[in-house]
Amino acid sequence: MASQAFRHAPDWQRRTMESLTLYSQQLFLFLVLALYSLSVGRCLGTLFYDELRLCLPVLVAIGLLSFMPVHLSSRSMGEYKGLIALNVATIIGSALIPLVHMGASGVKETRAPDSVMKPVADLSVAGVLSGLEVMSFAFTSQFMLVEIIAEMRNPAEFPSAYMISAPFQGIMFLIAGVGAYFYMGSAVNGILGENLPFGPTFRVAAVCLLVHMLITFLIKGVVFCRFAQQVWNPNGLNDVSWRGWSAWSTTVVVCTALCWLLAQIVPFFTDLMDLLGASLTPLSCYIIPVVLYCRWLHDTGYKDRTIGPIEGTALVLEVLLSLVLMIFGTYFSITTILGKWKTYGAPFECHCTNLWATCECSPNHAGMEHCLAEH
């Protein structure tokens, strides 16, 4: 798209925009894979909260290694088509299972005494920026659209597929967000399933999220690993000989190891997501599309299609908001992460919070009120 939008621009401008678009999106994909790696480890920990009691770095490694054979055998997103239906089912389960449990328990049981629920919450700069970061991150699936269209048998059907996918995503986000806030109020935090008490429902929700994270990691991992192999071994990208598979396997192993490493540096799911939403998402999702659109409109020369005052104001505000997110949002996210290093432990430490059913690791977890009473 960058090439087409800047096809009439000077070569240096076209090459600059191509590189900026490509590398910003691929860097974002890599960081998202690290986020998913972290989530996989946390899901394993919550699934076996009373049996394994392994530290987070070990759990992340086990999760990635157990799924490695599937990743090594997948060189395109369409290798395992049945996983798409399973992914949809686990998305629904990850959202509805915790909410059904909360509904059965009742608001008096799920909402903490000091938790509040307001139609309009008290606003703060950090809170507004965090909300915008999460919202921006939630709708970054457009990075995958070109790859998805490329693998469709009939690319012309993509608009119809998107008309189904977009409302589904919006409805699930709305149900999860509003439902969790209704039942838990301001005390809701982090991954929805982790707000449940330790028990069977807690495990089932963890299984759903674990499967969803692994499938999503596979889909986006294929795209990023193909990009990585294109950089260092372009001739072997589509080579099906043993040399081609060896190069692919090397790429997958190295990328997975780097994802594990980054997941340990920032071992806090929500804060890593906020950091992604503040640092790279505004550039890739807002600023670059606006620049491409303006350049395309400038070069087409349509007299009846110009940017009016309302549209121009909206575009300027969008870019300004993106810059605010990138500067101040990133600052607040990094400050929060550094603070949690001091509170919950530095990188590569155990980080068993809400993973082990012990008073030492999860004193504030739902159903662990006796821990606070003991102290």
Residue 374: predicted pLDDT? 64
* Cβ(251)–Cβ(225) below 8 Å: yes
Query: Confidence band (pLDDT; 50, 70, 90) for 117?
Result: confident
Identify the weakest region by mean pLDDT among 22-26, 78-82, 203-207, 346-350.
78-82
Residue-wise pLDDT for 67-78, tens only, equals: 999 999 998 877
Tell me what the mean pLDDT of segment 347-363 comes to: 91
The pTM (predicted TM-score) of the whole model is 0.89
49 vs 199: CA distance, rounded Å: 9
Helix/strand/coil for 238: coil
Please give the Cα distance from 49 to 42 (Å, whole number).
10
CA 45, 51, 57, 59: dihedral to nearest 10 degrees?
A: -60
CA distance 267 to 52: 19
**CA dist list (Å): 95 to 101, 160, 212, 277:** 11, 25, 11, 21
For the stretch 190-238, pLDDT in tens is 788 999 999 999 999 999 999 999 999 999 999 999 999 999 999 888 8
Q: What burial class does residue 343 get, using C-beta atoms within 10 Å of its C-beta: 0-12 exposed, 13-18 middle, 19+ buried?
A: exposed
- Ordered by where they begin, the domains of the chain are 2-374 (1.20.1740)
Q: What is the DSSP string of 174-207?
A: HHHHHHHHHHHGGG--SSGGGGSPSSHHHHHHHH
